[in-house]
Structure 1
């Protein structure tokens, strides 16, 4: 009986279809003089654009309004069209659709296991992974943590696990996670988020846990390898000996040549620096170290705070890196305890304790209410205020008083109309004001919330989501970076702003998952 009913409904639909088709008019027939004006004025370069548009209200009412008040010129005509139609690729996306758009993007950013061809720069990866997008067609290290935040809340847990499997194997094969999954990135790493990535896993298999712990310890060894070659300079590779003997870390690169992927740019910067008496090898290593920091490039690393030719990344002991190293040491201790390895637990608990004390001793500037990087040359904190000062809160290294003071500083100096400023210095470099970046927003939001500064955390999140939603409504894209002063797509750097975009997608989903009301507010702005 049910089958017969279904057949009758199908037959009825087929019978009505010709009549419906006959009644449906083309855009030229529906909109007559409006259609002609739009097409002959070339409001849109491609004539197919307008005819694929969807009316926002009754076509007859739109046409009546057009006839009663014809637009005065081409600009007014375009404005009329955009007010009354959803035009493909122009205004057919709404701020409220950001989360849905991100969820639809994930499959587009997935890449399958890599078996490099002869002569390729690709690094082998055994399982599927997610790329940032745009020119970034391989998996990157610190990007992936923020991407995973979104994957974890968007029903993509298998991808979280497969990316962890890839990173684990890369550590086993190469001894560390490189900047990105290319051979030309192997001489450096990026901010070490592997330990925090493991917090996102739901894999409870003991064998997997043992393998990951071994990889985590090996990564720690990579960052601390320089302790065995320290000399009177007080630094070797990625290790720095502080005045009290504590060993901390800096960004570095094993090579001192121009980066393969930015060869011409690095040659030009080294040539400029040579005029000031700096050797090409030193400048190029500092450029590479800046790339390892992920902040490529920023006034944080510049001797004069302005010119890239004065870069001295290896002369700075960074607060963000040492906060992440603390998180790594704490997790190694915890995982060793779970594994029943008492000796390992004791060693890494002690290392974490020393580093946590050093973070307050060397990076905290009490009179200014901020955490800072430490300058090896001046032997004191740098004057640069940046979003990196939120990392001690993010990993739980700050005291309650330090967190409260940091929140006050953030409100006064780093809070912009569209989110958190990266720095307070305008240099034209992409990791300086006016740009804001998704990973730094999350570090601040999560860190402040951890210390009970929820109102400020929500404020940053709301401003950021408003910026992302506004740009999405205007462009239909999720971008790598944004101008948080004017709430628009960001700029600067060695390449154009990219869309895709892994860490922006991930942070947007993570914020929406935590505070879903913020997107509704952002969409209404």
Structure 2
């Protein structure tokens, strides 16, 4: 069955009948008849139910955006199986909507970014590395037609310098290439919504989905931009904004280049990136007294000075309030004087070291690392660096005949084994059967059960016995209706039931945790457990997309299996009209990755929207 209908009149009639709350979406919260009839050349087709009606709305808008005046409607599209449709939309539309470049078109989009509304200057600053003449000249030429100001960074970028430009925030250049006399910007994928920059660990998880969807050039582009950042800015940045110059992100560079190489088999490309990855390991992570602590394990330590400038006005009022009250001054006045160096406050200096380090960890924010992040050897960070060391060992052995720039695989195996010994000594708790973060200052474990407690499974750091203990004792505590929670309710409650929720804690769940835990379970042969955890996550995403006009946002409440969450910074991806054009970066990737692992029988049940409780007999502890 095929019908051709006029787009404008059909769209107007559909919204008038079914969008009863006027939000330009068709969801289960609308009170329309849930039945809409279209006709063409004597053929009539009745479309029933929220999901099918929202599919019609989306298809009308896609065709309209393509400049069409008529839409050819088929049952196959309107009644497309839910999981198939979500996956297709990610592959064919959302990745395109999230792709950015730092060329003229991309810069123009950045100029309109809402984060630039606080700029006092009329032009958006574009900061360029000291030695990148190609980028400097390119952006200088763009000043004639775009409202940008090209600024060259100093050869040495210090925390003091970064603080000095916080009042003039701008974007940082990424890699440009000269091809056939033309300059091309290397593309990257952004998280979505208000996030128009290339972010650190987001990029790796997005790349997992991109590789599944055969968009290898985009995954490779992000690796090439990572390399550019390390070479020119000294680290993989939290994101390419000027105020992130002192802050890195969780390390996933070796995983990214390995997975790209598995597809491209480009050994020269791999060699170039492997050199850079070793440089990052040695100069960012293994500098003693900085991100390497006295016990040989690692921590996050953002090097900036003072308040993170990306925070909205008033974000730290509660922190400044007691000091302002003691001096009898207004909070805003105290904050201004502290920022300008007119007031010294050692407590605040230390507080902001920890606060910036929380943001460097990617887990901003969580009570697990609140107020002491720079004092902690985190389970997750040390698992990620163990993965670096084993990646180096395996790549050098398998691809470079055990001789790479003076390194052998045995060197890296030795470092990995040493880290494993230290992790077992300081982070493993035999009585609790769990990995816990370790305060290297007080020499105590922090008994907070988090999704990160399971991440040693992802990188094969855990022994077989530890893996069995984690799966038997810890996984059930974190497993909820919609997947793995950021932490247990009990760990969250032990902090203080009166304090406000943090977005990385119970009851919320996050894509990178799910993806790493799935792989970790499979690494150790826990196939049934992996299938259950994957299904719960995919069911939650699919059901919310079906009920809410294709919505795929940044975060979910996995306890209630809903996208309607409390979140300190909102929930990116829910604010759209008619159709989402992006989804959310690592959410999209988690969906594609989960589908690639799900059994055929469970995929059939997912398309039937069969709730997890009806499938899995084992109840959560």
| TM-score, normalisation: structure 1 | 0.79
Deviation of residue 43 (structure 1)?
3.1
Deviation of residue 46 (structure 1)?
8.1
Give the equivalent residue in structure 1 for 2:253. Answer: 194
Give the equivalent residue in structure 2 for 1:103. Answer: 91
Alignment counterpart, residue 239 of structure 1, candidates 288, 292, 295: 292
The structure carrying a bigger helix percent of its residues is 1
Q: Secondary structure at the match of 2:512?
A: helix
Distance 1:465 1:505 in 2: 11
State whether structure 2 residue 447 is matched by structure 1 residue 383: yes
Deviation of residue 107 (structure 1)?
1.3
Against the structure 1 CA distance between its residues 40 and 474, is the aligned structure 2 distance closer, same or farther, given a 3 Å change threshold?
closer
Alignment counterpart, residue 121 of structure 1, candidates 165, 168, 171: 171
Give the equivalent residue in structure 2 for 1:318. Answer: 378
Against the structure 1 CA distance between its residues 385 and 523, is the aligned structure 2 distance closer, same or farther, given a 3 Å change threshold?
same
State whether structure 2 residue 270 is matched by structure 1 residue 216: no
Alignment counterpart, residue 43 of structure 1, candidates 15, 20, 24: 20
Query: Which moved further from structure 2: 185-194 or 38-47?
Result: 38-47
Distance 2:5 2:38 in 1: 21
State whether structure 2 residue 575 is matched by structure 1 residue 487: no
Deviation of residue 113 (structure 1)?
3.8
Q: Secondary structure at the match of 1:374?
A: strand
Alignment counterpart, residue 552 of structure 2, candidates 468, 472, 478: 478
Contact 1:90 1:474 in 2 (8 A): no
1:153-186 alpha-carbon deviations (Å, 9 max, x no partner): 1111121122211111221112210111222111
Alignment counterpart, residue 149 of structure 1, candidates 205, 208, 220: 208
Distance 2:307 2:354 in 1: 10
1:59-107 alpha-carbon deviations (Å, 9 max, x no partner): 98979xxxxxxxxxxxxxxxx9749855626997863321111112111
State whether structure 2 residue 297 is matched by structure 1 residue 248: yes
Distance 2:459 2:551 in 1: 31
Distance 1:326 1:394 in 2: 10
Give the equivalent residue in structure 1 for 2:64. Answer: none
Distance 2:517 2:439 in 1: 23
Deviation of residue 315 (structure 1)?
1.4
1:101-157 alpha-carbon deviations (Å, 9 max, x no partner): 111211111112447442532332331111111111111111111111111111111
Distance 2:359 2:585 in 1: 18
Q: Secondary structure at the match of 1:485?
A: coil
Q: Secondary structure at the match of 1:511?
A: helix
1:182-211 alpha-carbon deviations (Å, 9 max, x no partner): 221111111100011112113333432221
Alignment counterpart, residue 571 of structure 2, candidates 473, 484, 497: 497
Q: How does 1:30-429 map to 2 (within 5 A)?
A: 43=20, 45=22, 54-55=36-37, 82=50, 85-86=53-54, 88=57, 95-96=82-83, 97-104=85-92, 105-114=94-103, 116=126, 117-118=148-149, 120-126=170-176, 127-201=186-260, 202-227=263-288, 236-242=289-295, 247-262=296-311, 264-271=313-320, 279-302=347-370, 311-337=371-397, 338-339=399-400, 340-341=403-404, 343-345=406-408, 346-424=410-488, 425=492, 427-429=500-502
Give the equivalent residue in structure 2 for 1:69. Answer: none
Deviation of residue 256 (structure 1)?
3.1
Contact 1:225 1:238 in 2 (8 A): yes
Contact 1:326 1:352 in 2 (8 A): yes
Contact 2:302 2:357 in 1 (8 A): yes
Q: Secondary structure at the match of 2:198?
A: coil
1:465-514 alpha-carbon deviations (Å, 9 max, x no partner): 01111111122121111110001015344321012311011111011112
| TM-score, normalisation: structure 2 | 0.67
Alignment counterpart, residue 439 of structure 1, candidates 481, 506, 512: 512
1:326-368 alpha-carbon deviations (Å, 9 max, x no partner): 1112222334444323842243332111101112221111211
Q: Secondary structure at the match of 1:248?
A: coil
Contact 2:50 2:546 in 1 (8 A): no
1:211-250 alpha-carbon deviations (Å, 9 max, x no partner): 11111111102333531xxxxxxxx3211112xxxx1110
Contact 1:109 1:132 in 2 (8 A): yes
Unpaired segments ≥5 residues, structure 2: 27-31, 61-77, 108-125, 127-147, 151-169, 177-185, 327-344, 494-499, 574-582, 610-621
Contact 1:483 1:490 in 2 (8 A): yes
Distance 2:366 2:454 in 1: 17
Query: Which moved further from structure 2: 480-489 or 424-433?
Result: 424-433
Against the structure 1 CA distance between its residues 43 and 392, is the aligned structure 2 distance closer, same or farther, given a 3 Å change threshold?
closer
Against the structure 1 CA distance between its residues 82 and 449, is the aligned structure 2 distance closer, same or farther, given a 3 Å change threshold?
closer
Larger radius of gyration: 1
State whether structure 2 residue 511 is matched by structure 1 residue 450: no
Contact 2:172 2:241 in 1 (8 A): yes
Q: Secondary structure at the match of 1:261?
A: coil
Give the equivalent residue in structure 2 for 1:12. Answer: none
Q: How many residues align?
A: 461
Contact 2:102 2:173 in 1 (8 A): no
Alignment counterpart, residue 592 of structure 2, candidates 484, 504, 509: 509
Q: Secondary structure at the match of 1:344?
A: coil
Against the structure 1 CA distance between its residues 210 and 496, is the aligned structure 2 distance closer, same or farther, given a 3 Å change threshold?
same
Query: Which moved further from structure 2: 259-268 or 275-284?
Result: 275-284
Against the structure 1 CA distance between its residues 396 and 61, is the aligned structure 2 distance closer, same or farther, given a 3 Å change threshold?
closer
